[in-house]
Amino acid sequence: MVRELAAYEGLLEQVRAGESDLLRDGFGQDPYFQCLLAEVDGEAVGFALFFYSYSTFEGRPGLYLEDLYVADKARARNLGRRFMARLASIALDSGCTRLDLSVLRANPARGFYHRLGAAEVADWLPYRVDGEALKRLAEAE
C-alpha cells in the first residue's frame, strides 16, 4: 500500500522502504511509528501511519500523521474520515494538543482535510535536510 500511495502521488521513484524496514521500525522494541489498518473482508485496504511529536511552545505532545491511504476500491466506505476521527481520539487520549499533517499542494484530498476542520499553516514553511546535505551537516559537527 505504501507503493500504491506513492504511485497515486506521482512519487513512486522515491520509495526506498521495504517490508523489513517497516517491521523493524514499527514493530520492534522501540517503534518509531504506529499504524492503523483498515480491512474489508479480510483484505487490507487502507492505513494511517503516525508518530508523536512535541511542541516546546505548548509543552505538550502532538500527533503527526505521516501517511493516510485508502485503496480506490474502498474509497466509498468513509474510511478516510474514520481514520481521521480515530487519530483525533488517539491524540486527545494521549494528551496531545494537535494533529499535524502535510499534504502535497496538488493532492485532491486537500478539500477532504479542509472539510474535517484542518487548516493550512500559512506562516510555516516545510524544510528538509536529507541525502548529501544531511551527511555534510553531520560532518560539520
Per-residue pLDDT of the chain (141 residues; tens, 9 = 90+): 999 999 988 899 999 999 999 999 999 999 999 999 999 999 999 999 999 999 999 999 999 999 999 999 998 899 999 999 999 999 999 999 999 999 988 888 899 999 999 999 988 888 989 999 999 999 998
Q: What is the number of structural domains in the chain?
A: 1
Rounded Cα distance, 104 and 70, in Å: 16
Rounded Cα distance, 19 and 6, in Å: 15
Write the CATH number for 72.
3.40.630.30
Full-model pTM = 0.90
Select from 108, 93, 89, 14 the least CA-distant residue to 48: 89
Per the structure, the complete domain to which residue 31 belongs is given by: 2-139
Catalytic: which of 32, 52, 113, 127? 113
Q: Is 113 a catalytic residue?
A: yes
Which residues have C-beta within 8 Å of that of residue 96, sequence separation ≥ 6? 52, 60, 61, 62, 63
- Three-state secondary structure string covering 40-63: ECCEEEEEEEEEEEEECCCCEEEE
